[in-house]
Structure formats: structure tokens, C-alpha cells
Amino acid sequence: MRYILFGKYLHNQYLKTMPDFNYNGKIYYNPVQLVMEQIGGAWKAPILWRLKDNTMRYGELRKDIPHISDKMLTSQLRELEENGFIHRKVYAVVPPKTEYSLTEQGKEIIELITTIRNYGLKMIEKQTKQNSKQPSLHT
């Protein structure tokens, strides 16, 4: 049985280096690098998170993610679509209507995003507790 993590794997009780691999024409050194490139960055996971329970239009996503620019939202949606995480449905109406939803692959990644989100919430809580224990400089 192989357990792969960060370019190393356990095979018959020996730790071996995982060989580089090609995925869609790009060389990767480990599977974590591959996944983080697919969903990493400041905006991809928040976009996927918002689509986990809803189909949303571009304007709804834009309003729900206030700090993202139009250019960034457009590029991130395109990358998520190209990588198979979201489906884009365009309606032939005036004005144009476009809806975004998760694909099966997008639904699968939500479990990982949930784990990462929960870990982030724990980090925030820990930092908040540490900050509240520090004496105030204004006393």
C-alpha cells in the first residue's frame, strides 16, 4: 500500500521518493502541489464554497465576494471551469444570463475546502485567545 505525501511514499515499509508526474502537460513533484495549484490562491476556494449549495449568477458572486475585482472573478471562474470544478451555463437572452454551478469534481473538493476552512477558523480562534491574554499597552 502506498501513502503519498509531499513527494514521498511508503512502499513495503521503505520511504521512497515519489517520481515526478505529468498532469495535463505540466510536470508536478507531488500531488499536494497539483491540488493546491487547482484550488489555491485567495479566490478559488471562496468561489467554490459559495457554489456548494447554490447555482449563482456572476453578479451574485460579485456581490457575495466584495473584495474581488471583476477581472479576477472572471479569470478565476474561467480557470475553475477549465479545470472541471464548475459548470457555466449561458442563456441566449437579452441581457445575457450566465449561471455557475459545481460539477461532480467541484462537489468532491468541497470536503477538502471544508477541512481547510475549519483549520483556518481554529487558527483564528487560537490567535484571538492569545491576543486577549496579552496585557494592554493602554492601561
pLDDT bucket at 102, cuts 50 / 70 / 90 = very high
Measure CA 125 to chain center: 21
What is the per-residue pLDDT across 23-72, written as a single tens digit (0 to 9) for each? 889 999 888 899 999 999 999 999 999 999 999 999 999 999 999 999 99
CA distances from 5 to 25, 52, 96, 108, 131 (A): 22, 27, 45, 19, 34
Q: Is the pLDDT of residue 2 over 90?
A: no
137/100: higher pLDDT: 100
> What are the residue boundaries of the structural domains of the chain, listed by start?
1-34, 40-114
Flag the least confident range among 11-15, 60-64, 115-119.
Answer: 11-15
pLDDT bucket at 1, cuts 50 / 70 / 90 = very low
Model pLDDT, residue 55: 98
Q: What is the CATH code of the structural domain delimited by 40-114?
A: 1.10.10.10
- DSSP conformation class of 21: E
